[in-house]
Amino acid sequence: MNLEKYLSITPEIAEAIKSGKPVVALESTILSHGMPYPENVEFAHKVEEIVRGEGAIPATTAILNGQLKVGLTAEELELMCKGEGVGKVSRRDVATYVAAGLPGATTVATTMMIAAMAGIKIFATGGIGGVHRGAETTMDISADLQELANTPVGVVCAGAKSLLDIGLTLEYLETMGVPVLGMDTNDFPAFYCRKSGFGVDFNVESPELCAKILATKWDLGLKGGAVIANPIPVEWELDFDEMEAVINKALELAKEQGIKGKATTPFLLSHIKEITKGVAFASNKELAYNNARMAAKIAVEMAKL
Ligand code: PSU
Ligand code: MN
């Protein structure tokens, strides 16, 4: 292995990791493939500020110039937000993008992978990928789930969008031994909605207990990460049935147009955005801010252990 050749961590983040200070990883697919430019630039900066406001250091990841980047400059964030020619990089694409020197946005799977390489234990995102509806014939299961099974990073998210089969996603996580922890909730959230109709494995109630569970998992030598499900704040929650109709419409369009593979999730996200004319986008940003805040609190607790 020759990781040093490819892993590029900013001095601030490198120092924080070395001295055991709280650090929170952030992904870039949410920027390049999940949100419109230039609104995503403001989002990218604000989410980092929120992490700092809680006393942790933000580490947005990306693949640029043949390097796995941990921490981006304002120019690099701008490039990811513009998204021109920026690919969506999951685990299978990593070596290709690095070797070819192509710009790549990191998914949940890739961000977890790079975070673990750097020694970062907590990561905040919007929603995780999962088992797609109809996966029994398409076999479309996000690589995010395998990464959660294997890579030791706690992922703070607002659950998963119901464009996925949430029940099957939770079954898969159970089989793979991934804890699904509710952050002060018994319900597994469905991104825009605080409830999905499914439960979590355990309601952790506090960032402190969450940090303790993660530390214990890794002390015990158990591999893999955890899903830390943090529901959208009540004031930003959207109506479940209305969102269900929107998602069904987007799924229909994808079917009509024969969308497959890695294009599926970005296609669905962009159509949800179009159909809801920005209402969902405001909620999307707020839930991500809420996750960044919670991830930073958990990272601060982890640093005390
Ligand atoms: N779900 C969302 N928003 C997102 C994504 C998923 O609600 O931005 C992104 C994340 O980066 C996630 C990726 O890791 O899509 C999953 O893609 P796929 O389903 O192709 O694995
Ligand atoms: Mn997929």
pTM of the predicted model over 0.75: yes
Statement: residue 61 has pLDDT above 90: yes
Reported as a pLDDT band with limits 50, 70 and 90, residue 276 is confident
Reported as a pLDDT band with limits 50, 70 and 90, residue 85 is very high
Statement: residue 105 has pLDDT above 90: yes
Between CA 107 and CA 126 the distance in angstroms is 11
Q: How far is the CA of 267 from the centre of ligand 2 (A)?
A: 11
On the 0-12 / 13-18 / 19+ scale of CB atoms within 10 A, 99 is exposed
- With beta carbons less than 8 A apart as the criterion, state whether 86 and 110 touch: no
Topology of 3-304 in CATH?
Indigoidine synthase fold (3.40.1790)
Between CA 244 and CA 123 the distance in angstroms is 28
Ligand 1, atom nearest to 105 Cα? 11
Kindly report the CA angle at 212 between 46 and 47, in degrees rounded to 5?
Answer: 5
Q: What is the pLDDT of residues 29-52, one digit of tens each?
A: 999 999 999 999 999 999 999 999
Output the pLDDT for position 96.
98
Reported as a pLDDT band with limits 50, 70 and 90, residue 223 is very high
- With beta carbons less than 8 A apart as the criterion, state whether 294 and 230 touch: yes
Catalytic-residue membership of 161: yes
Instruction: Indicate the average pLDDT of the chain.
Output: 97
Q: What is the pLDDT of residues 117-152, one digit of tens each?
A: 999 999 999 999 999 999 999 999 999 999 999 999
Question: By C-alpha distance, which of 96, 102, 65, 70 is closest to 84?
Answer: 102
Output the pLDDT for position 2.
94
Contacts within 8 Å (CB) and 24+ apart, 43-49? 43/285, 43/288, 44/77, 44/80, 44/81, 45/74, 45/77, 46/289, 47/124, 47/288, 47/289, 47/292
The residue to mutate among 47, 63, 107, having the most atoms of ligand 1 within 8 angstroms of its beta carbon, is: 107
Q: How far is the CA of 131 from the centre of ligand 2 (A)?
A: 8
- Higher-pLDDT residue of 214 and 278 is 214
Ligand 1, atom nearest to 284 Cα? 7
Average of pLDDT values for 174-194? 98
Residue nearest ligand 1's atom 1 by CA: 127
| Ligand 1 pocket residues where CB is under 6 Å | 27, 29-30, 34, 90, 107-109, 126-127, 129, 142-144, 161, 191, 262, 265, 269
Reported as a pLDDT band with limits 50, 70 and 90, residue 208 is very high
Reported as a pLDDT band with limits 50, 70 and 90, residue 278 is confident
Residue nearest ligand 1's atom 2 by CA: 127
Domain locations in the chain as residue ranges = 3-304
* Mean pLDDT comparison of 52-66, 238-252, 257-271, highest-scoring range: 52-66
The one-letter code for the residue type at 83 is G
User: Which among 69, 161, 285, 297 is annotated as catalytic?
Assistant: 161
Statement: residue 102 has pLDDT above 90: yes
The residue to mutate among 86, 128, 265, 276, having the most atoms of ligand 1 within 8 angstroms of its beta carbon, is: 265
Catalytic-residue membership of 27: yes
